[in-house]
Amino acid sequence: MASDLQPAILEVGRALDAAYPSRTRNPLKAIDERAMALAATDQELKAALFRFVDVTPACRSLDDLARHLTGFLDELPERPPSLDMAVRMARSRTGRAALGAAAAAGVRHMAHRFIAGESPRAARGELRGLWSRGVAASVDLLGEATVSAAEADRYAARCAEALDELAEAAAASDLPAADANLSVKVSALTPLMRPDAPDLGREDAAGRLRPLLRRARELGAHLHIDMESLDSLETTLDLVLDLLGEEEFAGGPSAGLVLQAYLRDSPAELDRILAWARSCPRTPPLVVRLVKGAYWDHEVVEARQHGWSPPVFESKADCDRNFEALTRRLLDAAPLVRVAIASHNLRSVAHAIAYADGRELELQVLRGLGDELGQALATRGHRVRVYCPVGDLVAGMAYLVRRLLENTANDSFLGAQARGAPVEELLAAP
């Protein structure tokens, strides 16, 4: 098929490329131009900077912050001159205060590109901005790891409040309630996520997810369940399919799950999801958000440490090809499921649009990384949703570092785009 589709993909891709809002076209450069440009060229420096970003919220004072920064920089075999100055500054107390303040501001600035606000209420302005441009949103509540029942309860309560808040905000913007859209993580809804005992987490999380589904149904809002690392896959998939298969949810709420194309088993998982959808018809149909997967390094390292064969594709092209194959299967399965394609890769997105050829399709991007692509898609009249994490800096750091790492990785699409690869190359078949 790919050969017939290629001209259409090129056409869609070029049109999107031309529709990017400004000449920036490269969210990475804008993030924090110099730091990112530096980080992208030097692996050790990148590690130092990201470790620093990671520890920022745990530092007790500007002095402490500056000491951490220089601690990381001291470990570098070579330092660019600009950072040498930072190390010199840190020799005096006042220098450290100034350095700490500058670094803190830098990290906060970076965080705000990815995180829409401290709370759904604080993010209201941002959401309204998106909505007014015809772009939808999904809010994700960042949080610390859940290690106790009390923490799981608190997260569930925050989710319930967020649903109310989003429904109210949508109403205030004269939008249908369905535009209130919340993404949740199962690992935050239970402290009992055990890879060797998936039933424990499933049963425990069900007790907290069920009330959220009811609330979403009452409000007419959409609830989406994110997918995390493979250790939690069985729990998550069983939980979502079990609950949504329950009689009481046959007529709503609108809900969805995530399929990760980097998993070698993802085609079999899609079989299972489609078989389920056939056996439990529900209205509205399940949304399947197709992603590549955010835990690639984690999965590979964990497998290597245990001597297991990695559960993910090890070549980017295999992953991308699988993503396209799953895209086609999903679009062909509609209206059994509703399809959302979540990617910042112009090729992956153009492929989906070309194959859909006017059939219903939603495209999704992450705040801070896919803003320009999102705008280009909206300009071209496609349905777009921006995934907007909300939360404080402490909770946001793990998310932030993951995004930074992923997108400065050598074979990421955004990396290639940042290096200025020509659009034909970016649109080539994987």
Partner 1 sequence: MSLPPFRNEPTLELRRSRDREALLGGLRELEPRLPLRVPVLIGGDAGGAEGIESTDPGNPARVVAVAGAAGERDVEQAVRRAAEAARRWGALPAAERAEILIRAAALLRERRLMLAALQVRECAKPWGEADADVCEAIDFLEYYAREAVALERGPELLQVPGERNAMRHVARGVVAVISPWNFPLAIPCGMTAAGLATGNAVVLKPAEQSPGCAGELVRALHEAGVPPDALALLPGLGDAGAALVRHTGVHAIAFTGSGAVGLEIIRAAAETPPGQRHVKRVVAEMGGKNCVIVDSDADLDEAVPAIVRSAFVYAGQKCSACARVLAHEALVDRLLERIEGAVATLRVGQADTFGTDVPPVIEEEAHDRVRRYAELAASEGRVAAGGGDVPDEGWFHAPTLATDLPPDSAVLRDEIFGPLVTVERVPSIDAACDTVEASPFALTGGLFSRSPDTVREVTARLPVGNLYVNRHITGAMVGRQPFGGNRLSGVGAKAGGPDYLLQFTEPRVVTENTMRHGLVVE
Using alpha carbons, select from 49, 34, 32 the residue that is nearest to residue 109.
Answer: 32
CB nearer to ligand FAD: pick between 134 and 281: 134
**Distance of closest approach, residue 57 Cβ to partner 1, in angstroms:** 10
Site for ligand FAD in 230-289 (CB under 6 A): 258, 260, 262
Give the whole-angstrom CA distance, residue 124 versus residue 209. Answer: 24
The answer to whether residues 263 and 292 touch, using CB atoms and an 8 Å cutoff, is no
**One residue of 114, 155, 249, 313 binding ligand FAD per CB under 6 A:** 313
Q: Could you say whether residue 231 binds partner 1 (CB under 8 A)?
A: yes
How many residues bind to ligand FAD according to rule CB under 6 A?
30
Q: Find the farthest-apart pair of alpha carbons in the chain and give their distance in angstroms, rounded.
A: 69
Q: Could you say whether residue 296 binds ligand FAD (CB under 6 A)?
A: yes
CB nearer to partner 1: pick between 172 and 275: 275
Q: Could you say whether residue 268 binds partner 1 (CB under 8 A)?
A: no
User: What residues contact 181, with CB distance under 8 A and at least 6 apart?
Assistant: 136, 137, 138, 139, 166, 221, 222, 224, 385
Handedness of CA 156, 161, 162, 164 (dihedral sign): positive
**One residue of 14, 79, 112, 194 binding partner 1 per CB under 8 A:** 194
Please, is 190 exposed, middle or buried when counting C-beta atoms within 10 Å of its C-beta (0-12, 13-18, 19+)? Answer: buried
CB nearer to partner 1: pick between 72 and 262: 72
Give the whole-angstrom CA distance, residue 404 versus residue 313. Answer: 21
Which part of the chain contacts ligand FAD (CB under 6 A), choosing from 67-75, 102-110, 126-134, 315-323? 315-323
Residue 260's beta-bridge partner residues? 291
**One residue of 235, 345, 375, 408 binding ligand FAD per CB under 6 A:** 345
Give the whole-angstrom CA distance, residue 73 versus residue 24. Answer: 30
User: What residues contact 426, with CB distance under 8 A and at least 6 apart?
Assistant: 13, 346, 347, 413, 416, 417
Please, is 386 exposed, middle or buried when counting C-beta atoms within 10 Å of its C-beta (0-12, 13-18, 19+)? Answer: buried
Partner from partner 1, ligand FAD, none contacting 102, C-beta within 5 to 8 A by type = none
**Distance of closest approach, residue 78 Cβ to ligand FAD, in angstroms:** 27
Which part of the chain contacts partner 1 (CB under 8 A), choosing from 69-77, 122-130, 240-248, 269-277? 69-77
Site for ligand FAD in 203-232 (CB under 6 A): 226-227
Query: To which H or E segment does residue 213 belong?
Result: helix 198-219
Residue 338's beta-bridge partner residues? 287
**One residue of 366, 376, 378, 384 binding ligand FAD per CB under 6 A:** 366
**One residue of 5, 31, 219, 319 binding ligand FAD per CB under 6 A:** 319
Give the whole-angstrom CA distance, residue 354 versus residue 97. Answer: 54
**Distance of closest approach, residue 315 Cβ to ligand FAD, in angstroms:** 5
CB nearer to partner 1: pick between 180 and 230: 230
Which part of the chain contacts partner 1 (CB under 8 A), choosing from 65-73, 117-125, 250-258, 282-290? 65-73
Q: Could you say whether residue 291 binds ligand FAD (CB under 6 A)?
A: yes
Side-chain half-sphere exposure of 323, counting CA atoms within 13 A: 31
User: What residues contact 84, with CB distance under 8 A and at least 6 apart?
Assistant: none
Binding mask 302-321 for partner 1 (x = CB under 8 A): ----xxx-------------
Q: Could you say whether residue 421 binds partner 1 (CB under 8 A)?
A: no
**Site residues (CB under 6 A) for ligand FAD?**
226-227, 258, 260, 262, 291-296, 313-316, 319, 342-345, 348, 364-366, 370, 387, 406, 411-413
